[in-house]
Structure 1
Amino acid sequence: MSDEHQVEEKLHELIRSWGVSTFSERIALQWIKRFLGSDSGHDAFLRLGKWIVLQLNQRRIPHDCSSWQVGCPELIPLLRSTPVWDCSEFPWIQTLESNFAVIKEELLALKNNAKSAFQPYRAPSWASDIDTKDGLGSAGHDAGDWNVLYLFLHNVNFQANRQMCPKIAAIIESIDGHYDHAFYSALAPRTHIKKHHGPTNKKLRCHLPLVVPEGKCRLRVGDEVVYMQEGKCFVFDDSFEHEAWNDDDTRSRIVLIIDVWHPDLSVQERKFLSFLRNAQLRMDKTRCQDSGDNFYSIIKKAGEANTSTHEVVWS
């Protein structure tokens, strides 16, 4: 077998591992060959070519990543790596902050909703060593209580939640580069989210603190610490190791979390990475039918169980 044929076989194996359908496999192969043929430092596909070479060589960590990112499952080379970003790079931050009062009012209206849309944060059992009381997946916190209300989660339908929060849903949809992942995150008093990494460096995470006990809530990202202030956004790269605290004894902390594409990624790169993400989501949902420990199955079951109490969310 020639070297060229061996490479072709490896490419097909890689594409199939992404969950791409037989119909889409040829399209994906054309994209990849385009990436691998790029040798220009200004070519939008250069970094994806390097990322694919890493995978073909069964390597995960690019040479240019920070030591704080090493635990992240997916790292794309040649993306700026900084734990906390300057908000001036994101014009839509001004829209969020100028609408803070409206967004907070819409959130607080949920307090009087007879049916809580918040649900316990849960992850697959392999993602954490912290067991849950209900035996559903694993927990991300080792003290206190952590609950979430999803607004957007890729192709998972949370339309009912968005209908309860139409103003913020519309603002999120207007954000250029929205990654189709946004939710409210509520930390009960004395809660600690243990140190962990997000799934990828191809996105960044924005926090808009809505209900924050003054001076009691902080987030560590790499070696930087951010103290939260109501109405003041901050953007960080959650591929860096990070953890969060609500040290208040009596009051909850609630923030709006919005993920956006990494600004270094071109429209073409986002298009290809979205293509892969959607393929992987379809594969995960198929596996969900066979495995109760799949991320999407756990989210669905956590929502159906509806065990988030009014007190832990709205203290």
Structure 2
Amino acid sequence: MDWLARNHRRHPRRKELMEKVSQRMFQLGLTPSPHQWTERLNEQLTPFVLMDPETQSIPWPGPASALSWLAGNFSTVILPAFSSASKAGAWEEHDEGLHNAGHWELAWIWREDECQAKWHPEVCRLVEDVQAIWPTREALLSARFSRMNPNTEVMEHTSATNQRIKIHCGVHNPSNVTMYIADKELTWRRGHCFLLDDSYGHRLATAATDEPRTILEIKIYHPDLAWADCLDDDGGLEERTPRSCDAGLGGGVSQTWERTALRSWNIHISQRDLRAHRRDSDLAAGGVVYGNGFMRLFSGSHLLCTGYFYAFKIDAVDDEHFPLDSLRDMSLAFGVSHLPGGHKLGIRSMYAYEIPGTILVGYGRHIVDSGEWFTQSAWDPKSLVVGDVVGVHINPLGDLVVWVNGEQVLRTVTSLTEGNRNELNPRRKALGPRRTLFPVIDLHGRVSAVTLLPEMSMPNLNLKARSKIREKDLNPLGFRGKKAVPVPGRSLPGLGKAVEQEPETLPGFHEL
């Protein structure tokens, strides 16, 4: 198909022949669609041509929020960046040989894992934050402004694989230039963003009387690569999967505690980066520590329960400053975070519950889920003693399960919890959606030192029923029924969670 498009673009029957070949391939079962003739087709990935968040629901929470965030930052970040690119003379000719005639220009924002937009660094931070909430780890491939000038024609083509998709945001399109992709049409609108899979055949052209069309284009890995297998250049499974499937923001699966930006100021890391302890025993704040990568997925068919899991051992307790007979809530907190430890939203946190999107057990008999506080009576972390081994488990349904010395002590629903009864893909049905979660522990009280156990496996036991929890009236910020922080993957800073009223006017407000 590409050969016909590239070498016989002026042939009078080229379009008719391409349609007949594509239909025949589809009839023979060689392609899933007559419009999709990409070289490497990963059939595990959700197929789609075009997704418009205004007219349809985006099935992945992270990408849905990313589209909203990009649209919300159009006037303050994207439009000024476009102006800066023009002033800086950052435009260069599109050199992929896809346009037969005319002038197609690019201004690079992100390429080869680094910011190219020295003329407007804020736009780089915007696309980095999109990557931070994307389901697939290190998913961002490139970002650029694309300007197509009048009288330019782009031949019909597809990308090499459906494992990479695009985000398109309209910047300037006064002539309503339209792209034809599969059996759909895309006319870019100012400040409006779409998801599209360009492994489907697509083409576009501008007339001599059209004004230049400019868009923001982000190339990023398909969200389903967070759980699906990756295909190599020959269409086989990768033995060592590429960074889109296997590389974590902290260097892969958590094997140690992170020594650098991923810990708080009151934490010291030692013993081959496996042990973390609080530096100043009488200070409770600043004791947050992250794993240096994401949580490991246990998915063997021999397991009675599957999911994400990490474990740590209690090394020391502080009886001097936190005696057990007078202890209330100052014990220990641990759980999972959507964000890696070096993320800007969590660097200055004094306590783990201040980090957006964390799901924690601790601070007494509490569960903290993305800023909302709940109480439970099943288990209290103050019962932990030196030598106890604690396991943190996210099961396929999204429940958080706590194991102590191989015994289940707590199971609770979380904001990750979702039903998968109607899931068609058997692998995803058994394991739940593939997630990018990071271990996080807050040594804010009686437990003053822990050691990560990277080689420990999850207990091979059937899960018990869920524990009962109830929501607290007030969260630590003093707002009744209000989230303290936004939730990555469902909403982003400045979108949907901000309290626009004065705090004093909110029901339940009180000075802390």
Shorter-chain-normalised TM-score: which range?
A: 0.5 to 0.7
Q: Which residue of 2 aligns with 1:243?
A: 203
Of the two structures, which has the highest relative contact order with CA contacts closer than 8 Å and spacing of 6 or more? 1
> Higher helix fraction: Structure 1 or Structure 2?
1
The separation in 2 between residues aligned to 1:62 and 1:78, in whole angstroms, is: 16
Residue in structure 2 matched with residue 191 of structure 1 by the alignment: 152
SS at match of 1:162: coil
Corresponding residue SS for 1:173: helix
What is the rounded CA distance, in whole Å, between the counterparts of 1:225 and 1:92 in structure 2?
22
For 1:40, the equivalent position in structure 2 comes to none
**Taking structure 1 as reference, are residues 151 and 144 closer, same or farther at Cα in structure 2, changes over 3 Å only?**
same
One-letter code aligned to 1:83: V
Distance of aligned partners of 1:149 and 1:226 in 2 relative to their CA distance in 1, 3 Å threshold? same
Determine the structure 1 residue equivalent to 2:32. 65
Q: TM-score, normalised by structure 2?
A: 0.35
Matching of residues 162-311 of structure 1 within 5 Å: 162-175=117-130, 176-177=133-134, 178-215=139-176, 217-247=177-207, 249=209, 251-266=211-226, 269=229, 272-274=241-243
The equivalent residue for 1:144 is 102
User: What's the offset of the Cα at 1:226?
Assistant: 1.2
Distance 1:179 1:269, change over 3 A: farther
Is the CA contact (8 Å cut-off) linking 2:170 and 2:215 kept in structure 1? yes
Displacement, 1:276? 8.9
**Counterpart in 1 of 2:93?**
120
Q: Which runs of 5+ in 2 are unaligned?
A: 1-27, 59-63, 231-239, 248-512
Cα-to-partner distance string for 1:245-290 (whole Å, 9 max, x where unaligned): 3336252111110122212222575792327999xxxxxxxxxxxx
State the distance in 2 between where 1:273 and 1:77 align: 17
Aligned to 1:43: none
Q: Secondary structure at 2:118's aligned position in 1? A: helix
How many residues align? The count is: 196
* 1:38-76 deviation digits (Å, cap 9, x = unpaired): xxxxxxxxxxxxxxxxxxxxxxx9856322111x12111
1:78 to 19, 29, 44: 44
Quote the RMSD (CA, aligned, Å): 2.7
**1:123-157 deviation digits (Å, cap 9, x = unpaired):** 2xxxxxxxxxxxxxxx21123211112222335x5
Q: CA deviation at 1:233?
A: 1.0
* CA contact 2:145–2:215 (8 Å) conserved in 1: yes
Task: After superposing the two structures, state which structure 1 stretch, 96-105 or 86-95, moved more.
Answer: 86-95
Q: Which has the larger radius of gyration?
A: 2
Match of 2:24 in 1: none
Per-residue Cα deviation, 1:154-195 (whole angstroms, up to 9, x for no partner): 35x5x4x32212121111001133432111111011222111
Does 2:83 correspond to 1:108?
A: yes
Question: C-alpha distance in 1, partners of 2:183/2:169?
Answer: 21
Give aligned-pair identity as a percent.
21
**Cα offsets for 1:94-128 (capped at 9, x unmatched):** 11111111211221123222xx22111112xxxxx
Return the alpha-carbon distance in structure 1 between the equivalents of residues 182 and 242 of structure 2: 26
Separation in 1 of the partners of 2:173 and 2:225?
Answer: 33
Higher strand share: 2
The answer to whether the Cα contact below 8 Å between 2:48 and 2:197 also exists between their aligned partners in 1 is yes
Letter of the structure 2 residue corresponding to residue 85 of structure 1: M
